[in-house]
Amino acid sequence: MYTKKRIYVFCNIVLVLLNIFGCGINIDEKRYESSPSASPATESGSATLSWQAPATDAHGSTLYDLGGYKIYYRLSSNNDTRSIDVGNLTEIKQKMGSKFELINLDGATLLPGFIDSHMHPIMFIFFLVNLDLTDVKSIKDLRTLIRETATKKNSSEWIIGLRLNEEVFTNPEERTLPTRWQLDEICSENPIFLVRYDGHIGVANSKALEIAGITAETEVPEGGEIRKNEKGEITGIISEEALNLLFSKMSFPKPSEIMEGAEKAFKILAEKGITSICGLVEYDRGRGVEFSIMKSIRNKVLQNWYCLVTTEDINNIIKIKKVVSLEL
């Protein structure tokens, strides 16, 4: 099935949604490459949820057999509206006359395309191109994975791990976040930053803290935490708003890795039946890096993307609007 994809960009200034431009940005048509089990119906590209028939006759009529409940669609000439009639197969066929196509779903259920109402697409891509720590169940597992990764990188390259969950470690005594000293023991040459599965807490080794300029005297951003021990030493554990101190200093994946990750990410969403996303992009993170990545991957997007760009600097609205108007 083919459908036109769009990205709609909005701005959020200090949690206040400003619908300053709802410009639809047309993306090249793409085919949903969904798994056979998902079989999502597609959206029309409008702002409202709708179903688009995979095949219609000259009058735009299609009949779906839903194993007892029959739903009949007649698409309007401008493809903007849908009318639904429900009844048994005989009744619906009589109403449709002779102009219809019968699609037997063999007991399967047809559902509309799903909308993910809150996600971070760029972060999702980063999850796919960096270390996945989901299966780490001990400090030993963590040591093995990080050291193996370090052998494939030079000493200046970051090792970033995601989805760390110390709560599921096999040994109850290890069910606490590792410290920078433990990460230093594993690998001290590469900067390391591990992000917990909830995305709100991370732990860095000493090399990463040095690159980010984080010391015991560093001013903690409002709403963040740079954790210290009883001696006043920073432990490497950082949370919430303080995470940007690390994110802003990281070296990002290569462009080719980002493109590969983007293609994989949006295919995964399509396989789950997701045809629209409300995706957040943080303009202030990494000096606009997320926004730049969004521009570069737009031809990999298979969904309609309602993009909420957040920034704390109202002057950035002009920059964002100019980019959206001229570049996307």
Q: Return the minimum-mean-pLDDT range out of 44-53, 109-118, 165-174, 204-213.
A: 44-53
Give per-residue pLDDT as tens, 36-56. 333 333 333 222 222 333 344
Name which of 185, 138, 189 is nearest 159 in CA terms: 189
Q: At residue 291, does pLDDT exceed 60?
A: yes
Q: What is the DSSP track for 255-268? A: HHHHHHHHHHHHHH
- 186 against 198, higher pLDDT: 186
Residues with Cβ within 8 Å of residue 76, at least 6 apart in sequence: 60, 82
DSSP label at residue 127? H
Q: Where are the beta strands (DSSP E) in 142-268?
A: 159-164, 192-196, 201-204, 224-228, 234-240
Dihedral sign, CA of 36, 38, 39, 45?
negative
- Euclidean distance between CA atoms 139 and 313, whole angstroms: 41
Q: What is the DSSP track for 7-37? A: EEEEEEETTEEE-----EEEEEEEE----TT
Residue ranges covered by each domain of the chain: 1-49+112-121+255-328, 52-110, 131-247
List the structure tokens of 187. Answer: 């690998």
Residue with tokens 């290890």: 174
Residues with Cβ within 8 Å of residue 39, at least 6 apart in sequence: 108, 110, 273
- Euclidean distance between CA atoms 275 and 261, whole angstroms: 18
Query: How crowded is residue 285: how many other Cβ atoms within 10 Å of its Cβ?
Result: 18
Residue 313: pLDDT band by 50, 70, 90 thresholds?
A: confident
Give Rg (Cα) of the chain. Answer: 25
Top-confidence range, 79-93, 173-187, 289-303: 173-187
Architecture of the structural domain at 131-247? Roll (3.10)
Q: Record the pTM.
A: 0.58
Q: What does the H/E/C string look like for 82-96? A: CCEEEECHHHHHHHH
For 42, phi then psi, to 5°, come to: -100, 170
| Residue-level pLDDT at 51 | 31
Q: Return the minimum-mean-pLDDT range out of 44-48, 84-88, 132-136, 169-173.
A: 44-48
List the structure tokens of 306. Answer: 């309602």
DSSP label at residue 274? E
| Residue-level pLDDT at 76 | 41
